[in-house]
Structure 1
Amino acid sequence: MAHGYAKAEVGRGSVISSPVPAVGAAAEVFSSTSNQWEQCKVIRVEDNIATVAYQRGRDHVQKALPLGHPQLRLGSAMPAPAPAALPAMSLRPVCREGAKCKARQDPRHLEAWSHPFDPDYRRSCEREGLQPFLPTLHLLFGWVDADGSGKISRSELEQALPLLERLQGERLMLTEESWEQLDEDGNGAVNFSEFAQWAGPRLGLPLGVDHLFADQLPPCGIIGCPCPGFRLDERAALFEMFGEKKKKKDKKAKKEKKHKRDWEECMCREVDVGPQRIQERLDSCACGHKKMVHRLGASREMRSVPLPQHWVQPPAEMSASKGAPIIPLPPDHCQLLQRLLDSTYSNVWTRDRKRHHPDNPNVPRGFRVVRAYRAQNFKNWQEYAVRRAELLKDAKDRAIQHYDVQSSAEWASYTHACGIEPLQRACNEWVLFHGTAPPAALEICRSDFRISLAGDKTGTLYGRGTYFAESITKADEYAKAADGEYAMLLVRALGGRVRYCDEVEPDAEDLTRSCIEGPYDCVLGDRKKCRGTYREFVFFDTENLFPEYIVIYSRQY
């Protein structure tokens, strides 16, 4: 029972054996639809997976189950159980580590203990008085990701095929073609979004990411306030702690005491559970309003993955629409983006400029924004937001070393002026530049980056990933003209745990492996330190990237 199947007991303790049946042999399969055993015939046997066929009413049904499965028995000598009861099974003790069990690659451990997705798991939890983990795609992904890297390798998926076959109820084949379809971005590993898109329609499990967004507060509830989310006003908090006179403190203490006594009649009881959290409600946000009005502004029906509040299209239409809406930005936004380009300009030449622009290898003296667009790709945002929530949760358990990025610092003024969701510094969320051609920029925003195509035109100094820059000048080296105009993508990027490298000749293979198979999320190549040019940021998984803005610009010489 290497995959957690429990032995089924029928009648007086007899145990189902698992001989290899012949094609055409009679068998019985338990149907959860009719809640009874159905007479069937074996039509195919491959790799200990038996496919049986039977007729239910006017429907011809086929079902694939592993040999020895409690809902499949060979021959017709066994008495059928009562129609209203599922086949009995022996109950094993519950592994308290659940889907995070580190011994799940040990067949002896899997045979002795019950885990999530095992047939006896829920009943075993009930027997021991434990609350079972609800089956979700996020939980299943964590189980298949045996090394806890946040990505599923091909070998991990192959080892999990028997479990996935049991959950889906049919034979699964992992071919080269099916692996390429599953690995959408072509980086050689499957992230959670790619796994969920494949497993969701087949298994019918919920996404299971609500817990990742439980701590995120919505925008300010005051009409007209552009604040996209609560951010503690640290200056106000310090003033509250140290800046008040004693008389004022005494007056405030009396007021809070009365508030605690009368809290049941206070409007803030709608958003908290009692007086012990009153101070938290009264904390001030950087926008000048209290924390409680951010909670009151929350929608009662929030999606599993909250959408950015500055998106203009309703979520229902957005998720149903084909492709990604491309929204033109007004002139005042373009003016702020122009400031971003100006502030990240640097008159530093590199050999890449001569390589990609041999006809005019000189550094432009500036760049002028012609127009700009925002891409609202719901599918890509869902993938990105889940990964960001995972990194934020991980950062609470293990501190992440922060890296300041020039473009992200300048981006803060744009987000504040336009009411755009701010960057999360706790997980090294940045805004970076990626130069390309206008048609390619549009295609990337409507679909996504393709890691498998990385390096075809820009080189692979730090590995075969997607390259970004904090300087408009560096990213412009890779931009291509269309009718005299160039395109620059502004990309939200999750640096997470950064693999820093300041070597002149880095080991590209080692850097790539440390991100795809190891604990790192990106590579920061510091050519500014070792060569006096620019820092480069390299990513190997599209779930860490969200191309949000297209800036069409011209070069000024």
Structure 2
Amino acid sequence: MAAQRACPLCHDKASLRHRTLLERVFRSWTSCGVCADPINNAQIRWICKKSCGFSACESCGLSISLATPSRSSSSLWLGGSSQKAKNLPVRGCLRACKFGDHCREASAEHVARFAHPGDREYRQGLVTLKDGEVPCFETLWLIFTFFDPNESGHLTREEFRLAEVAVASLACETCDSSAAWDAAGGNLHGHVSFVRFALWCGRVGVKLPVGLDMGGERQCRFQSDGCGCECLNFRPHGPDRCCQCGHGPMAHRSDVAQQSIAAQLLYSRPRNWKRGAVGLISLSVGALSEFQFLLDATHKENDNWTRDRGCAVHGVNRCSASCAYSTRAPVPSGYRVVSVWRNQNPKLWARYNLMRASIQQECHGGCRRVSTLSSKAPFHHLDSSSLMDGVNEWRVFHGTSETACKTICVNNFEPSMAGTGATWKEKKQKRGMPLYGHGVYFAERITKADEYATPAESHDASTSLRCVLLCRVLAGRLTVCTGNQIDPVSLRKQVLDGPNHAVLGDRVQTLGKPFREVVIYDSDQIYPE
């Protein structure tokens, strides 16, 4: 019997079954809630027990979280059409092929019986190894995914401890488990992402290549008896997604994927950056027009006040909600761009670029596309730099102080600061609980971001000059919140312990709220551009 899944609409249980005779008679065909492909009445499907209307085809349902859901959060999972999930569903506990990456057998029977490095099943708890056999780890990515059986993109402390044991034989340095967890950012963030795992491996002297592709041709790295495969690029063929040369996708890696983490950090640079320059680079006056167009297009002229803008008499967070609603602070009628600075920070960009490749791999080549006003054409190509398709990469606003903007451009966002800004707090409390939990909040409209922007310290306050960040974010697979009953702890858990990458608070259509919000819980998914 198949394990039950958590319905992404109502969070009740969904089970794999055929429609009943009455359902076949009185209900029409439906489409899969994940990949949107039609499901006819005779097909087996995942159906929510609560009859909220959600159903998914058999293969896509396997990508839905097994985690115990929270019933109080109104959210929708947008996992997208996972090509890998559709072609290669998790097949239960398989034997590991003893030849690993060097396996020459590409028959359908062999692929159905054995798991190979890079397969979705080649993970702790999903693959069995004979006594004396050890997992095949040729890249850092293979180590990380092996100990991430839930495909969450993050390692818990216990998962990291197991990965640390595997890394120990490859490392030049040794450290106890607690020190390793702390060095990888586990104590600060509560989890370890692939970026922080790879950086930690580099610091302890692991020489393996990263193993993630960021574009370019993927040459076959298969070796046997001193001879290599002559295939120069991966060309998927057949349902098992092997290449036409007969070797699996993980045997094909670009030259970039073969680099160490140190080399990727050193050479990662966007093409539009000014050569040889680091830090904040002032853009020419001629470049300001496209940013002015961005502000004009994302300004909301009506129904644009929220409690976070505050009270005209007392300011923000200094009086009751009823007082703020009755004496609303005025909303600007428009915005004028005075200057734009590009942030050329190689360290932050390299971490972001690596996270982008990681999420692209986790999405198995694509996810359900969701757009924001600030990322649609022509804003997807601002400053001659395009956004990546397939991972919901967006440009969104974050309003704050001038000092904070400069600090963020150097060090990125600090998780410990979540809830200390404009979040409504209890009296005498320095930290509050934001609506969607402790994360970094962004807006697709400048009018919303302006609520949190403060007068620039370097200019006369009478000029009304303010600073705002325009950031790249990786939203990937989304949890979309459309209701009023929100469990912030559960939402964060869906991202850090589940298959999703971000939260989109979209209560505009259902509740008539003025703005949508984007919440990111891992700072490596953000680049302050």
**TM-score, with normalisation over the residues of structure 1?**
0.56
For residues 17-74 of structure 1, what are the alpha-carbon distances to aligned partners after superposition, in whole Å with 9 as ceiling and x for unaligned? Answer: xxxxxxxxxxxxxxxxxxxxxxxxxxxxxxxxxxxxxxxxxxxxxxxxxxxxxxxxxx
Determine whether 1:352 maps to 2:289.
no
Alpha-carbon distance change, 413 to 422 in structure 1, aligned in 2, over 3 angstroms: closer
* Cα displacement (A) at 1:546: 0.8
Contact 2:508-2:515 at 8 Å conserved across structures: yes
* Cα displacement (A) at 1:337: 1.0
Contact 1:185-1:541 at 8 Å conserved across structures: no
Contact 1:326-1:373 at 8 Å conserved across structures: yes
For residues 413-436 of structure 1, what are the alpha-carbon distances to aligned partners after superposition, in whole Å with 9 as ceiling and x for unaligned? Answer: 763xx4x22112322111100001
Distance 1:389 1:185 in 2: 25
For residues 181-231 of structure 1, what are the alpha-carbon distances to aligned partners after superposition, in whole Å with 9 as ceiling and x for unaligned? Answer: 421893321112212222113224144246342259xxxxxxxxxxxxxxx
Correspondence for 1:183 = 185
Alpha-carbon distance change, 186 to 370 in structure 1, aligned in 2, over 3 angstroms: farther
Distance 2:192 2:141 in 1: 13
Determine whether 1:137 maps to 2:140.
yes
Correspondence for 1:155 = 158
Contact 2:123-2:146 at 8 Å conserved across structures: no
Determine whether 1:368 maps to 2:336.
yes
Correspondence for 1:261 = none
Alpha-carbon distance change, 327 to 512 in structure 1, aligned in 2, over 3 angstroms: same
Determine whether 1:510 maps to 2:480.
no
Alpha-carbon distance change, 335 to 185 in structure 1, aligned in 2, over 3 angstroms: farther
Determine whether 1:430 maps to 2:394.
yes
**Count of aligned positions:** 347
Correspondence for 2:519 = 538
Distance 2:422 2:377 in 1: 26
Contact 2:399-2:451 at 8 Å conserved across structures: yes
Residue 350 of structure 2, aligned match among 382, 398, 419: 382
Contact 2:142-2:211 at 8 Å conserved across structures: no
Alpha-carbon distance change, 449 to 215 in structure 1, aligned in 2, over 3 angstroms: farther
Matches within 5 A, 1:40-439: 93-94=98-99, 96-98=115-117, 102=122, 104-105=124-125, 109=129, 111-117=131-137, 135-168=138-171, 171-175=174-178, 179-183=181-185, 186-209=188-211, 211-214=213-216, 304=264, 306-314=268-276, 324-347=278-301, 348-354=304-310, 357=316, 361-395=329-363, 397=365, 399-409=366-376, 411-412=378-379, 415=382, 418=383, 420-439=384-403
Alpha-carbon distance change, 508 to 168 in structure 1, aligned in 2, over 3 angstroms: same
Alpha-carbon distance change, 441 to 361 in structure 1, aligned in 2, over 3 angstroms: same
Higher percent of residues as helix: 1
Distance 1:110 1:169 in 2: 28
Is there any run of 5+ residues in structure 1 with no aligned partner, and where? 1-91, 118-134, 217-271, 274-297, 319-323, 549-557
Contact 2:212-2:357 at 8 Å conserved across structures: no
Residue 449 of structure 1, aligned match among 399, 406, 413: 413
Residue 447 of structure 2, aligned match among 473, 479, 499: 473
SS in 1 for 2:169: helix
* Cα displacement (A) at 1:526: 1.0
Alpha-carbon distance change, 536 to 325 in structure 1, aligned in 2, over 3 angstroms: same
Distance 2:362 2:183 in 1: 29
The alignment-based identity, stated in percent, is 30
* Cα displacement (A) at 1:171: 4.3
* Cα displacement (A) at 1:327: 0.6
Bigger Rg, structure 1 or 2: 1
For residues 306-349 of structure 1, what are the alpha-carbon distances to aligned partners after superposition, in whole Å with 9 as ceiling and x for unaligned? Answer: 521100124xxx7xxxxx52111111122221121111111310
Contact 1:408-1:432 at 8 Å conserved across structures: yes
For residues 251-291 of structure 1, what are the alpha-carbon distances to aligned partners after superposition, in whole Å with 9 as ceiling and x for unaligned? Answer: xxxxxxxxxxxxxxxxxxxxx99xxxxxxxxxxxxxxxxxx
Correspondence for 1:489 = 469
What letter is aligned with 2:207? Answer: L
Determine whether 1:498 maps to 2:478.
yes
Distance 1:504 1:140 in 2: 40
Considering only aligned residues, what root-mean-square deviation do their CA atoms show, in Å?
3.2
SS in 2 for 1:406: coil
More divergent stretch after superposition (491-500 vs 159-168): 159-168
Is there any run of 5+ residues in structure 2 with no aligned partner, and where? 1-96, 101-114, 219-231, 234-254, 319-327, 424-433
Alpha-carbon distance change, 332 to 520 in structure 1, aligned in 2, over 3 angstroms: same
SS in 2 for 1:367: coil
* Cα displacement (A) at 1:525: 0.4
**TM-score, with normalisation over the residues of structure 2?**
0.59
Distance 1:145 1:209 in 2: 16
For residues 342-392 of structure 1, what are the alpha-carbon distances to aligned partners after superposition, in whole Å with 9 as ceiling and x for unaligned? Answer: 111113100111066479821111222221110111122112222223334
Q: Which has the higher contact order (CA 8 A, sep 6+)?
A: 2
For residues 477-500 of structure 1, what are the alpha-carbon distances to aligned partners after superposition, in whole Å with 9 as ceiling and x for unaligned? Answer: 111222433210000111110111
Distance 1:443 1:536 in 2: 23
Distance 2:134 2:528 in 1: 43
For residues 485-530 of structure 1, what are the alpha-carbon distances to aligned partners after superposition, in whole Å with 9 as ceiling and x for unaligned? Answer: 3210000111110111101131111111001111111000013222
